[in-house]
Amino acid sequence: MMSLPELFLQRLAQVVPSERYEQCVQTFFEPPAVGARVNTLLVQGDVVLRALQEAGFQVHPVCWYLDAFWLPTEQREALLSSEWVQQGMVYVQNLSSMIPPLALQPQPGEDVLDLCAAPGGKTLQMASLMQREGTLVAVEAVRSRFFKMRENLQRHGADWVQTVQAEGEWLWKRWQGRFDAVLLDAPCSSESRFRAEDPATFRYWSEKKIADMVRKQKSLLYSAIQCLKPGGRLVYCTCTFAPEENEAIIAHALKKFGESIEVLPLPVSVENMIPALSEWNGRAFPQPVRLARRILPSPQMEGFFVCLIRRTRHTAALREKHS
């Protein structure tokens, strides 16, 4: 444990249930399993899964998502070099990151926005769920990541997706009230991706970095909500444990938008999913925040936070200062 930041471990012990703490910490020391998803834009799921098994891969299906599966970590390189991945029929993706699109449930014919889309894995998943019907817009601010995302989408058969290079915080001015559904996989301190054997994964972690992320997240969530039609839905998610970046962000949005938004129960559930925290460092969160869910890390899944929000009615543009 000493190879991870001591302050991080102290905070983690306050976030995860005490009986799950040691198991959670252990996941930072063990190589994770390989999560993957069949790209149904190009091929049928059962055909690929059967072919992988015949090729000697130890395919473990996922009960909550028929297109998903995982393999033992020692088969990672073989899968990455296989024709199924190289030809775009299989997309390697952690199982936890597949849950936000499933929670959003984008439907064929809808107008859908992925506000922080690179590298495009969740965008591809939503494109599959929408069956090429409707409008799907993928936004990325960083130029290099934008072009990699666009190439990724095209290679996997999602060339119909509209790609936009822009700062997501200000897109509400262009697209206010436009979308049926918005996915916001927010930039975060990425605590779930810490690896004990790789100090680079946590070298720049600090409570100051968390605070920096919070400012960005508040602005992005404000923009995402403003982009929704009345009745539209939004999923906010991160791959960090920090309550400041998770429950506190939702609490801030509830205070800012009042009865114009509501938190909904997630329509998908997995075994290692628990309710969001009710308080942090003496600060109680509004009761609706508890409807959000934390995914505890396991050998197959990294830690995640997922919250589903519905915009209940249109409101006039609020002041642009989000803090």
Element (H, E) at 151: helix 143-155
Enumerate residues 6+ apart whose C-beta is below 8 A from 32. Answer: 73, 94, 299, 300, 302
Helices 143-155 and 121-130, packing angle to 10 deg: 40
Structure tokens at 293: 């869910």
Angstrom distance (rounded) from CA 161 to CA 177: 20
276, 307 Cβ separation under 8 angstroms: yes
Residue given tokens 């801030």 in the structure block? 252
Cα-Cα-Cα-Cα dihedral sign, residues 99, 101, 80, 43? positive
Alpha-carbon distance 227 to 181, whole Å?
9
The answer to whether 227 is a known catalytic residue is no
Question: Among 188, 227, 237, 239, which one carries the catalytic annotation?
Answer: 239
Are the C-beta atoms of residues 134 and 110 closer than 8 Å to each other? Answer: yes
Active-site annotation, residues: 239
